[in-house]
């Protein structure tokens, strides 16, 4: 049970730690790191899923009859590309946030936004 | 013109709505604009009376527009009750337009073009409502009427108008969407049709609990009938200019409400079913309470328009009662009361507006003695009051008579008592107004109202004042409707025939 | 050529995006993007017509046969969705240049059109494809371009909203990816139709339950279903106005499509609604969503926020219809999907016009606009009436269907709640109306929006009324789609 599903355990640990980082950390870079770990766990899930016991790399050869499934690998290549794009976009957003807010801490950004809203509300009440 | 009756039926709905383009186009030239409105009124009356002739000669007049949803059509069919309503609404539209010309100009209201446009749309909606062949069509026009009158209610654009508009729209939309729509959808589901049919559309084996609940939903949902506790919109709507209050909130909108109640009672439930439903009794007493409470509240109002509004709430209760009595006399009485009350109340509102534009008075306590300046107006007020109370020689007598008969037939003695008590209350809140207008120096009045000395002197000097009546177009309107009240007493036959044809089908 | 339409629908905008980049000049890029979007619209029309006449269209990508190769599959539901997306995209794009002039610096206009086309591609792709993994890819294309588009907003909050959306969106998409992976693990296929045939054999396994949970939660994140809606209001409010108009009408709708597709077609009706207690859950969340979001809308000071919350509430209606799990319930959802796209795009486009003239869309700045911008405000009023569900507007049609569907099942209390919910819509719509028509304007007077705004806005407004009166088209398609979903077909 424990060893037979070893790959799944790894995936779950990674997935949960990734999600935890996204939720618990206020630093935006750390959030993105968590997000990446989360995504990576899924990549590992797909890749390990494709492994067939005793199977060889899926390259056609005469003396091999059992192959690993190549399809999930191909799929996950796409997903990796998507993941990279997401990370890159996320990081560039962080840069712009730093430029305009002067911080990359979630709480600080929220505080500034709230302050601005309160200022707006006061103006309206006048 | 060689138009077929079907075309006329459709034109009478479309024409007012088409006329808005002409009204907008003529917006800069007030005389032309009002000319357009009057012409439209006249053509409409011509159509409607032709339709009336057609109905009398026993023709089936119906029209089908399109299928909005599968099985749910927008279609029209003329029957006596709708005919009666359409006749009154179209005729009084002409009179009101005449009145509005005098009123709006001398009151220097802004946005008069918008006013006439919304008015025309509202009348179009009323025509559609009156001629609708099924509940679905009726509902569509009911909502159009609500929305098109909102700009009229809030015409002044002030904070007060906004508040009034909020209540107006809030109550009318809430009741119609939450209760009325739910009732319609349920009826559609239970009965499988929404077509108006004499004797009702529900099968015999439908659980009376369901139909009873539906009846409550309908009566509550038709907020325009202003049954308490959903009456607040009507006094709130009094922020509108007086022509709006007179036509829409004494005739078109409120009568659309009670008309719908009558339609639902007679053509959806059918009198036989209505008489045995468990909830009818409850609703009857609710309407009765509405009649009494509104009358009592009316007595406490010092603002003339507010008093008239509560009086309307009370009178609408009569019509609902008549419908719920589920007897033929009740239905006849209700149908006739739609007409009688329309003429009476519109005259009263016209008078209130005339007083406002000429003497700038809206409070009843300030109106003592004005009978000398505005004798015609106040005489009209007196006659119309009599009609509302229901005493000869005015038309109101007949409808009250039939309502009483209906209550007797149904053995509803409590309702009879309510009707009588309410008539007494009517006397108490309506008659003192013209009375004090003509005889301001009665001691009892002075004691009650402790008029400050400044006002007192003005009353004394008033006797020397010249006669100063409302602008002549308005005055004509007042006279016409007052004569209407009197004529309906002497010659109620056509009305009676229409009203009694409601239950037998064609005229 | 005609046989290749399903793929052309997706590939043309995809190819056009980089070409836009080459064109460089914003004006050219705009004309090109408009032409491409128009072409997509034309293709979707032809596709719809073909589907209605001759049934489902199946297209094998690259000639590879279905379970192995990627299949593009267009049935009534897909065709309807394609039409909605491409129509709104084209109409909204008309007003783009003027609106962008005020909201985005000139050198970024070309990028805007590139991203716009990419996100259009993504949405069309999600709908057109019949392959589960393909869905994920297109979903990410849409999302990535959406994050970038939202971050283009004028205010600094836009970037923050975009970041939050990115985090939530990525989690949602990854959830879907996990779900798809688990399904593949159990069945060895990614083709939706194939999945639908093979899943029942293994439906009682925990893996399939897990897969279902991941997919549903992921999709619900994307469609901003209460309580997973928190990313939406800010994203809509701070995005450039054109983007809001486009997304409000399409992006959540696409997610609803996915929800329907996965529950009804892939997992199957009996699994989704009998084995899993989805009905109670979604019914509760849908109704809660209507109330919570509508009440939040009432307290907003920014009109875009207000209507964004209203969107969440409207999604609640669709979820309620969906959870009835009957043909009429699904018809109501699909109708509302179509109708809501018309209402919200009209309203948000009108707000874009307001932003163009006034500079922002704070509720206070609306004062007196009823007189100064009569046509724009009238459009908002009609859109608002449609939201409320007044007869002769599209909103009424979908409400009617939703009510009949509920009463058909005997769920009276829910029907009453739905109607009460639409009363809340009266309150927030009238809040806007009263400020626009009853307050004197405080600042300098503004002019009516230019024609480039008014024409698309009023096209949508007229559609709002037209489809509220002549319901044959929308009802027929929605019914056909719902029936085919219940017929077990894919």
Counted domains in chain B: 1
- Residue C326 in 3-state DSSP? coil
In this complex, which of B140, B165, B182 lies closest to C415 when CB atoms are compared?
A: B182
Transcribe C235-259 into DSSP letters: HHHHS-HHHHHHHHHHHHHHHHHHH
**Count of CB atoms situated within 10 Å of the CB of C488:** 11
What would the pLDDT profile of B335-392 be if each residue is shown by its tens digit?
989 888 888 889 988 888 888 888 888 888 888 788 888 888 888 899 999 888 888 8
Mean pLDDT confidence for C365-388 = 88
CB contact under 8 A, C471 and B68: yes
**DSSP E strand stretches across C14-90:** 57-60, 71-74
What would the pLDDT profile of B431-461 be if each residue is shown by its tens digit?
888 888 888 776 444 444 544 444 444 444 4
Please tell me the distance from the alpha carbon of residue B333 to that of residue B404, in angstroms, as a whole number: 8
Q: Which chains touch C (3 or more CB pairs under 8 A)?
A: A, B
Please tell me the distance from the alpha carbon of residue B70 to that of residue B39, in angstroms, as a whole number: 38
Q: In the prediction, which pLDDT does C203 show?
A: 82
Tokens of C347: 């309203």
Q: Which chains touch A (3 or more CB pairs under 8 A)?
A: C
pTM, entire model: 0.89
In this complex, which of B66, B143, B157 lies closest to C438 when CB atoms are compared?
A: B157
Q: Do the domain assignments include residue B34? A: yes
**Count of CB atoms situated within 10 Å of the CB of C362:** 16
Task: Quickly list H helices, C95-155.
Answer: 96-103, 109-128, 132-151
Q: Which residues contact C172 (CB under 8 A, 6 or more apart)?
A: C217, C218, C219, C220, C221, C222, C228
Task: Report residue C226: phi and psi, to 5°.
Answer: -55, 135
What would the pLDDT profile of B223-260 be if each residue is shown by its tens digit?
888 888 888 888 888 888 888 888 777 788 889 999 99
Tokens of B388: 């509302």
- Chain C: closest CA distance from residue A96 (Å): 7
CB contact under 8 A, A93 and C163: yes
CB contact under 8 A, B166 and C434: yes
Handedness of CA B127, B130, B134, B139 (dihedral sign): positive
The rounded radius of gyration (Å) of the Cα atoms in chain B is: 22
What would the pLDDT profile of C80-118 be if each residue is shown by its tens digit?
999 999 999 999 998 888 888 888 888 888 999 999 999
- Most C-contacting residue of A21, A93, A103 (CB-CB within 10 A), to test interface: A93
Q: In the prediction, which pLDDT does C1 show?
A: 65
Q: Do the domain assignments include residue B341? A: yes
**Count of CB atoms situated within 10 Å of the CB of B328:** 18
What would the pLDDT profile of C414-443 be if each residue is shown by its tens digit?
999 999 988 899 999 988 888 888 887 777
Contacts of B144 in chain C (CB under 8 A): 391-392
Q: Which domain holds residue C351?
A: 2-486
- Residue C69 in 3-state DSSP? coil
Percent of chain C with pLDDT over 70: 99
CB contact under 8 A, B182 and C430: no
Tokens of A76: 């996950």
Please tell me the distance from the alpha carbon of residue B505 to that of residue C12, in angstroms, as a whole number: 64
Domains and CATH numbers, chain A: 8-54+67-125 (1.10.287.3510)
Tell me: cis bond preceding B427? Omega within 30 of 0 counts: no
Please tell me the distance from the alpha carbon of residue C487 to that of residue C52, in angstroms, as a whole number: 16
Check if C391 contacts B (Cβ < 8 Å).
yes
Q: Do the domain assignments include residue B142? A: yes
Residues in chain B, pLDDT under 50: 443-448, 450-464, 506-507
Kind of pairing between the strands at C57-60 and B72-77: unpaired
Q: Do the domain assignments include residue B224? A: yes
Q: Are C109 and C100 in contact (CB under 8 A)?
A: yes
Contacts of A114 in chain C (CB under 8 A): none
CB contact under 8 A, C167 and A35: yes
Please tell me the distance from the alpha carbon of residue B290 to that of residue B310, in angstroms, as a whole number: 10
Please tell me the distance from the alpha carbon of residue B55 to that of residue B43, in angstroms, as a whole number: 18
Tokens of B136: 């679905």
Q: Do the domain assignments include residue B181? A: yes
- Residue B440 in 3-state DSSP? coil
Could you give the ipTM of this predicted complex? 0.92
Tokens of A100: 């305009």
Counted domains in chain C: 1
Task: For residue B144, give the chain C residue with the closest CA.
Answer: C391
Handedness of CA C376, C381, C386, C387 (dihedral sign): positive
Helix (H) or strand (E) holding B64: strand B62-69
Q: Which domain holds residue B85?
A: 5-501
Crossing angle of helices B253-263 and B328-359, in 10° steps, is 170
What would the pLDDT profile of C338-369 be if each residue is shown by its tens digit?
999 999 999 999 999 988 888 878 888 888 88
Q: Do the domain assignments include residue B449? A: yes
Contacts of A37 in chain C (CB under 8 A): none
CB contact under 8 A, B177 and C470: no
Q: Do the domain assignments include residue B113? A: yes
């Amino acid at each position: 049970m424990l060893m037979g599903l070893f790959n799944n355990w790894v995936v779950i640990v990674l997935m949960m730690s990734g999600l935890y980082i996204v939720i618990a950390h206020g630093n935006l870079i750390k959030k993105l790191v968590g997000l990446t770990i989360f995504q990576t766990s899924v990549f590992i899930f797909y890749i390990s899923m494709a492994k067939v016991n005793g199977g060889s790399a899926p390259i056609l050869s005469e003396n091999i009859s059992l192959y690993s499934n190549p399809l999930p690998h191909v799929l996950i290549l796409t997903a990796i590309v998507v993941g990279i794009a997401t990370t890159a976009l996320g990081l560039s957003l962080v840069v712009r946030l730093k430029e305009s807010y002067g911080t990359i801490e979630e709480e600080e950004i929220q505080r500034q936004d709230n302050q601005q809203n309160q200022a707006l509300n006061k103006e309206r009440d006048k | 013109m060689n138009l077929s009756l079907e075309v006329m039926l459709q034109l009478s709905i479309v024409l007012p709505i088409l006329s808005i383009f002409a009204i907008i186009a003529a917006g800069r030239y007030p005389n032309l604009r009002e000319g357009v409105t009057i012409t439209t009124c006249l053509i409409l009356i011509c159509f409607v009376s032709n339709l009336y002739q057609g109905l009398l000669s026993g023709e089936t007049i119906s029209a089908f527009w399109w299928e909005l949803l599968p099985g749910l059509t927008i279609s029209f069919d003329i029957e006596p009750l709708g005919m009666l309503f359409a006749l009154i609404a179209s005729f009084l539209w002409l009179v009101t337009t005449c009145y509005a010309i005098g009123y709006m100009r001398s009151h220097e209201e802004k946005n008069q073009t918008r006013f006439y446009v919304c008015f025309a749309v509202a009348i179009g909606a009323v025509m559609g409502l009156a001629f609708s062949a099924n509940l679905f069509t009726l509902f569509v026009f009911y909502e159009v009427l609500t929305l098109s009158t909102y700009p009229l209610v809030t015409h002044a654009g002030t904070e007060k108008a906004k508040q009034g508009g909020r209540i107006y729209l809030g109550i009318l939309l809430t009741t119609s969407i939450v209760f009325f729509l739910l009732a319609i959808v349920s009826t559609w589901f239970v009965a499988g049709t929404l077509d108006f049919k004499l004797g009702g559309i529900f099968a015999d084996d439908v659980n009376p609990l369901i139909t009873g609940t539906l009846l409550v939903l309908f009566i509550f949902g038709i907020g325009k009938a202003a049954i308490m506790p959903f009456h607040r919109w009507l006094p709130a709507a009094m922020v509108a200019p007086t022509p709006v209050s007179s036509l829409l909130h004494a005739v078109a909108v409120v009568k659309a409400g009670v008309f719908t109640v009558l339609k639902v009672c007679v053509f959806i439930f059918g009198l036989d079913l209505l008489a045995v439903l468990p909830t009818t009794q409850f609703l009857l007493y609710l309407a009765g309470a509405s009649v009494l409470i509104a009358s009592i509240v009316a007595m406490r109002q010092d603002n003339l328009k507010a008093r008239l509004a509560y009086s309307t709430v009370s009178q609408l209760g009569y019509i609902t009662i008549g419908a719920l009595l589920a007897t033929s006399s009740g239905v006849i009485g209700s149908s006739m009361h739609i007409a009688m009350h329309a003429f009476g109340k519109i005259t009263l509102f016209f008078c209130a507006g005339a007083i406002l534009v000429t003497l700038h008075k809206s409070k009843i306590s300030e109106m003592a003695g004005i009978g000398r300046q505005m004798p015609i107006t106040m005489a009209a007020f007196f006659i119309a009051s009599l009609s509302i109370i229901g005493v000869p020689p005015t038309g109101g007598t007949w409808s009250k008579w039939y309502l009483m008969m209906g209550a007797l037939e149904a053995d509803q003695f409590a309702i009879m008592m309510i009707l009588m008590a309410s008539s007494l209350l009517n006397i108490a809140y309506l008659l003192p107004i013209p009375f004090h207008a003509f005889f301001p120096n009665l001691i009892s009045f002075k004691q009650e109202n402790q008029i400050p000395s400044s006002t007192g002197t003005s009353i004394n000097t008033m006797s020397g004042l010249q006669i100063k009546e409302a602008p002549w177009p308005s005055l004509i309107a007042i006279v016409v409707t007052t004569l209407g009240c009197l004529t309906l007493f002497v010659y109620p036959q056509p009305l009676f025939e229409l009203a009694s044809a409601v239950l037998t089908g064609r005229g | 050529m005609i046989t290749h339409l399903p793929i052309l629908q997706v590939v043309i905008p995809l190819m056009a995006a980089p070409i836009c980049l080459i064109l460089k000049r914003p004006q050219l890029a705009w004309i090109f993007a408009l032409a491409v979007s128009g072409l997509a619209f034309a293709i979707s029309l032809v596709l719809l017509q073909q589907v209605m006449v001759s049934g489902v269209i199946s297209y094998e990508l690259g000639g590879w046969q279905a379970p192995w190769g990627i299949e593009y599959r267009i049935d009534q539901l897909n065709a309807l969705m394609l039409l909605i997306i491409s129509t709104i995209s084209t109409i909204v794009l008309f007003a783009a240049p003027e609106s962008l002039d005020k909201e985005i610096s000139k050198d970024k206009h070309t990028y805007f059109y590139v991203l716009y086309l990419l996100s259009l591609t993504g949405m069309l792709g999600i709908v057109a494809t019949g392959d589960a993994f393909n869905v994920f890819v297109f979903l990410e294309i849409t999302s990535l371009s959406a994050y970038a588009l939202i971050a283009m907003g004028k205010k600094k909050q836009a970037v923050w909203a975009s970041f939050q959306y990115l985090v939530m969106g990525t989690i949602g998409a990854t959830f879907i990816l996990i779900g798809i992976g688990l399904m593949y693990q159990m069945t060895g296929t990614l083709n939706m139709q194939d999945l639908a045939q093979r899943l029942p054999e293994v439906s009682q396994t925990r893996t399939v339950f897990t897969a279902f949970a991941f997919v549903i939660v992921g999709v619900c994140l994307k469609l901003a279903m209460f309580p997973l809606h928190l990313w939406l209001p800010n994203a809509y409010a701070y995005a450039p106005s054109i983007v809001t108009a486009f997304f409000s009408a399409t992006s959540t709708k696409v997610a609803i499509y996915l929800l329907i597709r996965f529950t009804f077609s892939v997992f199957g009706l009996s699994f989704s609604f009998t084995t899993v207690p989805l009905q109670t859950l979604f019914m509760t969340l849908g109704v809660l969503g209507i109330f919570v979001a509508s009440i939040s809308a009432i307290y907003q000071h920014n009109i875009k926020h207000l209507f964004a919350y209203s969107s969440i509430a409207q999604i609640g209606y669709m979820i309620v219809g969906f959870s009835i799990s009957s043909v009429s319930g699904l018809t109501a959802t699909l109708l509302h999907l179509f109708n809501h796209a018309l209402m919200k795009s009209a309203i948000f486009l009108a707000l874009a016009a307001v932003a163009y003239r006034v500079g922002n869309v704070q509720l206070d700045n609306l004062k007196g606009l009823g007189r100064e911008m009569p046509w724009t405000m009238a459009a908002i009023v009609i859109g608002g009436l449609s939201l409320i569900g007044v007869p002769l507007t599209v909103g009424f049609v979908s409400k009617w269907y939703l009510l009949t569907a509920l009463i058909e099942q005997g769920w009276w209390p829910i029907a009453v709640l739905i109607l009460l919910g639409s009363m809340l819509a009266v309150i927030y719509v009238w809040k806007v109306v009263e400020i626009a028509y009853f307050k004197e304007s405080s600042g300098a007077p503004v002019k009516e929006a230019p024609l480039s705004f008014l024409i698309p806005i009023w096209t949508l407004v007229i559609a709002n009324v037209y489809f509220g009166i002549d319901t044959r088209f929308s009802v027929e398609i929605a019914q056909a789609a719902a029936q085919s979903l219940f017929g077990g077909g894919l």
